[in-house]
Structure 1
Amino acid sequence: MKITRENIDALNAVVKVDIAKEDYSAKVEKILTDYRKTANIPGFRKGHVPMGMVKKQYGKAVLAEEVNKLLQENLNKYLSEEKLDILGNPLPKVKDIEWEDDDYSFEFELGLSPEFDVDLNAKKAITRYNIVADDKMIDEQVERIQKQYGKLISQNEVEKDSEITGTFTNEAEGIENKFTFTLEQIKGKTNEKKFIGAIAGDQLNLKTKGLFNDEHELQNALKVEHDKVHGLDIEVNFEINEINKREAAELDQELFDKLFGKDVVKSVTELKSKIKEDAEKQFVQQADQKFLNDVTEHLVENTKFDLPSEFLTKWMQTAGEKQLTLEEAKEEYEKSEKSLRYQLIEGKLMKDNDLKVDFEDVKASAKDMIRMQMAQFGQMNPSDKELDDIAARVLSNQDEVRKISEQVVSKKLLDLYKEKANTKTKELSYEDFVTEVYGKQK
């Protein structure tokens, strides 16, 4: 067997595999001999069928199967030994084979991975946000806690500070749902006026469009599907069941213990400090994700290299479950090119900086995730055995292993970017962060 490669250019090559009769003949003869021993052909006793008849009936199929096995095994071995970094899979140059000859030649197109360098130390610094919980946010959180743990006081009629419980119905749409909300959640003074002064038992006809400040609140109020709620414009009946005012809870030791455990917090000052600490832990995750996204975008935009686009487009025609037309494949390539570029950049960074993800990394990450989930349900100190047992079950699922592995890679790259990228730090409140990153919130 002979394998040769012709490099068309830096990104494309053709591999030719020549298979001679001596490469496959002994194997084919053995298989046909075994067939002859077991062949059940009318007119002949088992084991006494003439070899010529066996070859006529099975010869081409056996030859084709064995040649294709040899082809795949040796092509894969060649690619591995030559350390060729290819994109996609080799594409065979299609030709009709009659399987009448002794020697066969096959050609495969290869798309080669480009060579490039990644510069993390960009001229323009990338912003790393330090999000702080300001006094306004902390005070609002204290108010929310006081309301949440406060006492309900019944009211005769709806006032601006009322908490209203009632049932939304629309028979035609199959809507019937009991929901509790405050007038702060209702959008606009026109809607608000419909509630002010109403009493228990009153029925209000309401338009769903523009009823709540947040459409997701409307989804909760009506218990409809997420896709249906956006732009929903129907009338609903709302029957008021209860009207209450929530008296704020006292900021005392009983409340502190209920929130954080006995004597963890002992004053309003400590309460605010704890709220600030917990909030800023959450903000770190959001700031890190924003930084990771920004570095990713920067690297894709500023790391220049060519791709074997024509080859990849052809490969995409046959790579999926469904055969694509050339136009469909071009469209698919355009959609996935950015992702492919980042995958190559990511691989280059991992290799150049000797970053590896092994099973112990994945297992440790799984245990951290399990530990946090258990803490949410009040299990603060699980044993190592508990964590190992649960992690073993999680990691028996290959989809979970893949997902956690990707998270570990992201964490390693994030640490690398923090260490080596050209960054500047910007400190701002969460509200200002949301405005700067996502635009003015309505």
Structure 2
Amino acid sequence: MNFEFEKNADLTASLKTHIEPADYQPKVEEKLREHRRKASMPGFRPGKVPFGVIKKMYGNSVLADEVLHVASEAVYKYLDDNKISFILSPMMDEEEARLTEWNEGNTFTFRFDVALEPEIDPAADKSLTFTKYEISHDEADVEKYLGEIRERYGKFEKAEAVDNNSFVSAQLIEIENGEKKEGGLDKFIHLRISTMPEHAQKVLIGKKVEESFDFDVEKDFPNADERTEVFNISIDDARSMKGTYRVTLQSVLSITPAELNEQLYAQVFPERNIENEEQLREIIRQDVSGTYEKEARKQFFFDVQKELKNKFNFTLPEEFLKKFIRTRSEKELTEEDLEKGLPFYIEEMKWQLIENRLIKKYNLLITREDIRMHLKELLGLADMDDNDPEVKAKIDQVYDIVSKEKERFSNLVDNMTDERLIKLFEENCTVETKAMNWKDFLNLVNEKN
């Protein structure tokens, strides 16, 4: 097995691997013997089909599979042995592979494109300055939260027209030349009128079921976070919204807020034993404070990411990225699709590279034991002895459940990693504290993001 490695000017490299018969023949022979052991054909006992027959039936396909597998493994081993840092996965030249003549005894040559990792050395030190936001709350915030609780547990009745106590279900679609845009946003949304911005309430109040109205999203809802809140869509969908959209009302429900009594308290916080409105308000104050602190930490981390991406303003191989995205996409992508999505993908890749360097440099990798201890805390067992068989069994049970849910497990690890990075920058960088109320914080976030 031989290799030819050549760097290009755009942070990519070309790696040719020459796979000789000695590299693949033993694996091909073993795979064909495996086919023979499993083969069942008329006139032969199971597992006794002549090897020559098996080879004639499966030889070429097994040869191709094994050679490609050997080539792929060899590329990763070469990069690892030579300590060549790369991003994403090396990509084989598919056209060359397609034209390969699969004849046993040949030496096969494949070319792989490799995206090289930029050389960066990010650090958390006093040269970096960030702002930590301390968000205060007032009784208006508590009142709003309380109102939402009363509406959530209130009585819903069908209504003909929208008023300021309505709950509206509607269809949101993207419009082009007066018609639904092909491939555009098409989403069923729920709108709680009382929590919407005043200008949005004015548009909706008085509208009836099946009535539609169009709006210019950039003019009427210039802020992406506001779009997220109003239309209950993801921040990515909100940021990509441009042009005209149409809302068609599907149903309107009138809400009669629930009464403040012990029945409501038990429904909302069944484990708190709330006896009166003031106790409920105090719990709401604690929840509001917790929510504000969480949002402040998210903004702090966003500022960290933005600052580091600006400081290490390295480039990535765009043509390689386009090809990688296209080959991994479940649907066919146009050049316009790629150009539209590429900037977001590049920003995500930049942070991922910086994050990986920080994790390695400061030893922040999340281990299995870290996850177990985190779950222990979530289960309310933080003060219990780790060696207690009952405690250990409960933690292990939850760990086994969570680890089998790939997306949930990944999100858990990501959140734990984020917390470690936030703590790293809080403790090692210059951090200034700024106090403000929730409304001012939202305005600041809208300006920054």
TM-score when scaled to structure 2?
A: 0.62
Question: What letter is aligned with 1:24?
Answer: Y
**How far, CA to CA, are the matches of 1:61 and 1:187 in structure 2?**
62
The alpha-carbon distance between structure 1 residues 387 and 329, as it changes in their structure 2 partners (threshold 3 A), is same
Any gaps of 5 or more consecutive residues in structure 2?
Answer: 169-192, 212-225, 232-244, 262-269, 382-389
Question: What letter is aligned with 2:420?
Answer: K
Identity %: 24
Tell me which of 322, 327, 331 is aligned to 2:331: 322
2:411 equivalent in structure 1: 403
**How far, CA to CA, are the matches of 2:375 and 2:118 in structure 1?**
34
Q: Do residues 168 (structure 1) and 159 (structure 2) align?
A: yes
SS in 2 for 1:343: helix
The alpha-carbon distance between structure 1 residues 90 and 50, as it changes in their structure 2 partners (threshold 3 A), is closer
> Would you say the 8 A contact 2:10–2:317 is kept in 1?
no
Residue 418 of structure 1 deviates from its aligned partner by 0.8
2:21 equivalent in structure 1: 21
Q: Deviation per CA, 1:115-157, whole angstroms, max 9, x where unpaired?
A: 11225458673221112235x558x659969x97xxxxxxxxx
Greater alpha carbon shift after TM alignment, 98-107 vs 119-128? 119-128
2:341 equivalent in structure 1: 332
The alpha-carbon distance between structure 1 residues 363 and 169, as it changes in their structure 2 partners (threshold 3 A), is farther
> Would you say the 8 A contact 1:167–1:176 is kept in 2?
no
Q: Do residues 60 (structure 1) and 60 (structure 2) align?
A: yes
Residue 260 of structure 1 deviates from its aligned partner by 6.2
Greater alpha carbon shift after TM alignment, 76-85 vs 273-282? 273-282
2:219 equivalent in structure 1: none
Tell me which of 291, 297, 302 is aligned to 1:288: 297
**How far, CA to CA, are the matches of 1:186 and 1:67 in structure 2?**
60
> Would you say the 8 A contact 2:146–2:284 is kept in 1?
no
> Would you say the 8 A contact 1:39–1:49 is kept in 2?
no
2:365 equivalent in structure 1: 356
> Would you say the 8 A contact 2:33–2:51 is kept in 1?
no
> Would you say the 8 A contact 2:123–2:358 is kept in 1?
no
The alpha-carbon distance between structure 1 residues 77 and 346, as it changes in their structure 2 partners (threshold 3 A), is same
Tell me which of 97, 105, 124 is aligned to 2:109: 105
Pairing 1:139-178 to 2, within 5 Å after superposition: 141=143, 167-169=158-160
> Would you say the 8 A contact 1:317–1:326 is kept in 2?
no
Residue 303 of structure 1 deviates from its aligned partner by 1.8
SS in 2 for 1:354: coil
> Would you say the 8 A contact 1:28–1:66 is kept in 2?
yes
The alpha-carbon distance between structure 1 residues 384 and 434, as it changes in their structure 2 partners (threshold 3 A), is farther
**How far, CA to CA, are the matches of 2:377 and 2:365 in structure 1?**
19
> Would you say the 8 A contact 2:124–2:429 is kept in 1?
yes
Question: What letter is aligned with 1:354?
Answer: N
Question: What letter is aligned with 1:168?
Answer: A
> Would you say the 8 A contact 1:366–1:404 is kept in 2?
no
SS in 1 for 2:404: coil
In our comparison, the structure showing a higher alpha carbon Rg is 1
1:118 equivalent in structure 2: 122
> Would you say the 8 A contact 1:131–1:430 is kept in 2?
yes
Pairing 1:140-219 to 2, within 5 Å after superposition: 141=143, 167-169=158-160, 206-207=206-207
Q: Do residues 7 (structure 1) and 7 (structure 2) align?
A: yes
SS in 2 for 1:395: helix
> Would you say the 8 A contact 1:41–1:49 is kept in 2?
no
1:128 equivalent in structure 2: 132
The alpha-carbon distance between structure 1 residues 20 and 419, as it changes in their structure 2 partners (threshold 3 A), is same
Q: Do residues 422 (structure 1) and 413 (structure 2) align?
A: no
The alpha-carbon distance between structure 1 residues 92 and 282, as it changes in their structure 2 partners (threshold 3 A), is closer
Residue 289 of structure 1 deviates from its aligned partner by 1.3
CA RMSD of aligned residues (A): 5.3
Q: Do residues 91 (structure 1) and 82 (structure 2) align?
A: no
**How far, CA to CA, are the matches of 1:341 and 1:218 in structure 2?**
30
**How far, CA to CA, are the matches of 1:18 and 1:142 in structure 2?**
68
**How far, CA to CA, are the matches of 2:194 and 2:35 in structure 1?**
82
The alpha-carbon distance between structure 1 residues 395 and 109, as it changes in their structure 2 partners (threshold 3 A), is closer
**How far, CA to CA, are the matches of 2:272 and 2:36 in structure 1?**
80
Question: What letter is aligned with 2:89?
Answer: N
2:172 equivalent in structure 1: none
Residue 296 of structure 1 deviates from its aligned partner by 1.6
Question: What letter is aligned with 2:302?
Answer: N
**How far, CA to CA, are the matches of 2:302 and 2:62 in structure 1?**
53
The alpha-carbon distance between structure 1 residues 260 and 342, as it changes in their structure 2 partners (threshold 3 A), is same
Q: Deviation per CA, 1:55-96, whole angstroms, max 9, x where unpaired?
A: 665543343333223222322322332333222211222321
Q: Do residues 413 (structure 1) and 425 (structure 2) align?
A: no
> Would you say the 8 A contact 2:131–2:433 is kept in 1?
yes
Question: What letter is aligned with 2:301?
Answer: L
**How far, CA to CA, are the matches of 1:186 and 1:48 in structure 2?**
73
SS in 2 for 1:90: strand
Tell me which of 287, 293, 307 is aligned to 2:316: 307
The alpha-carbon distance between structure 1 residues 169 and 384, as it changes in their structure 2 partners (threshold 3 A), is farther
Residue 425 of structure 1 deviates from its aligned partner by 0.7
Q: Do residues 433 (structure 1) and 441 (structure 2) align?
A: yes
TM-score when scaled to structure 1?
A: 0.63
2:184 equivalent in structure 1: none
Aligned residue pairs, count: 360
Q: Do residues 341 (structure 1) and 350 (structure 2) align?
A: yes
Question: What letter is aligned with 1:428?
Answer: M
The alpha-carbon distance between structure 1 residues 237 and 3, as it changes in their structure 2 partners (threshold 3 A), is closer
